[in-house]
A and B are shown apart, each in its own frame.
Chain A
């Protein structure tokens, strides 16, 4: 059993897996990796089951010391990482010797970078998942973001190492998008033609106060058709709700489980990982697709993630 010492946690680093489903009736949202594609690929690179727990770093990475030999991979955005000072590239597996220091800096691309280790990060599971739920202080490592001095346990490693990386073609196909594809939301008919035009033709900017609960957008305000009275109802990841004031909020991994604002659209599942790479001030647009297209894209993405072409030697 190996140990990783957190020397500097970075801006916001948490333990995440693919989340906990099934606890909506208790008001518990799934949480989980903001970019699940990056986590899944990272796990495959080190030979884990794709849902093993890893570390999610946000905007600015941390400094970690491997006390023991480890096999690891960085995926997601490029945080300019080094191992004992030597630059290392993302999206490939590496081996660390005991006492080597992994350092990740400020992002060079999107919002999040993942550190996956062979054997996974071991924490006490809460409701069947290792994911940290920050708002309620549950799950992950003591229910909170990592701090300097934290010691994390790695699960048993297989003891085998083969240098592997993601194929260039797969990497391109999995690249996060700034044009988010959406299906109509359950209240899309509450928004008139001019409101729809504003939403689909406008460019929105990700606001600073965005977090794992919701991505707040700035841009043209969307007028609501008068008269409708909204009764709170269940909501899920990717719902684009329009509160009073007309600036949309995309519900994110640590979302509330019910909400009382009308939803104009819903980001498609195949683009969820793109949400996880949005940084404050990024500019995004929305593109309407139908359910058949949405499902087709999800099937295609899942096939790619499960395929043997995803990962190559090297």
Chain B
């Protein structure tokens, strides 16, 4: 590891064509904002030879063409970028509302999560829908947004053994995070409900409903509303 800009910002090579930039080793809003600032700067002023960017909670992985540049060259360029983070203007956060039908077969873990926290299902739903979440980053699969932070009383460990298949649209919690599965995938998050909204649309390259830095609210809806909305998204 070596220091990049200040004590808490460090470089670490990840592979022969990738470099990690760590902004500390804790999930904080401050660290995540630095990730978003560096990402933004690299998108506005792309570095020749950089091929991909993988933002996360408090780090950014940069994949580059090893035939065109070496780690040390990239580090030198990044040191200059890192000095300019404060002047980066982040876009005004988009505010996105996601309708969620909680419980029953849509949220098979709602009862257990409520029990774990000594709450009724209604209280769990209200609490889960009571706050505005930040999209820390998108990862895992296309369009999967890591939303945080969960209200403290909802912080729940993930399932001991993951489900082989979680239906698309499922809304789950794990640790102090919540998120929506865009596709049917294996998954270990505890499922509270499901959204009829398509989280990732390929048709027009429209891509992900959510982007890094967005603010998200979850709105409880009825089964009837779910069915109606599902039709409009089909």
Interface residues of chain A, those whose CB is within 8 Å of chain B, are 21-28, 30, 126-127, 133, 135-138, 143, 183, 185-186, 231-236, 238-239, 256-259, 263, 266-269, 291, 294-295, 298-299, 302
Contact = CB atoms under 8 A, between A and B. Distances in A.
Interface stretch (B77-85, B98-106, B141-149): B141-149
B15 interface: yes
A295 B142 contact: no
Contacts of B17: 236, 269
A26 B67 CA distance: 25
Nearest to A301: B67
Contacts of A186: 12-14, 20
Contacts of B144: 27
Contact of A25 (B22, B39, B140, B183): B39
A28 B140 CA distance: 8
Interface in B123-145: 137-144
B56 interface: yes
B207 interface: yes
Given A231-B27, A234-B20, A25 B15 contact: no
B196 to A, nearest CB: 18
B205 A127 contact: yes
B54 interface: yes
B143 A183 contact: no
A247 to B, nearest CB: 15
Interface of B: 12-18, 20, 22, 25-27, 39, 43, 51-61, 63, 66-67, 70-71, 137-144, 146, 182-183, 185, 200, 202, 205, 207-208, 211-212
Contacts of B53: 22, 24-25, 234
A297 B170 CA distance: 44
B51 A232 contact: no
Given A186-B14, A258-B139, A266-B15, A24 B202 contact: no
B142 A133 contact: yes
Nearest to B140: A256
Nearest to A238: B15
A27 B20 CA distance: 17
Contacts of A23: 52, 142, 207
Nearest to A231: B57
A295 B70 contact: yes
Contacts of B71: 291
B200 A136 contact: yes
A22 B51 contact: yes
A186 B54 CA distance: 15
Most central of A24, A135, A185, A291 by chain B CB within 10 Å: A24
B142 A27 contact: yes
A245 to B, nearest CB: 11
A234 B142 contact: no
B61 A236 contact: yes
Nearest to B36: A25
B14 A185 contact: yes
B202 A236 contact: no
A257 B55 CA distance: 9
A198 to B, nearest CB: 21
A27 B208 CA distance: 9
Nearest to A127: B205
A233 B27 CA distance: 11
Contact of B139 (A232, A236, A266, A268): A232
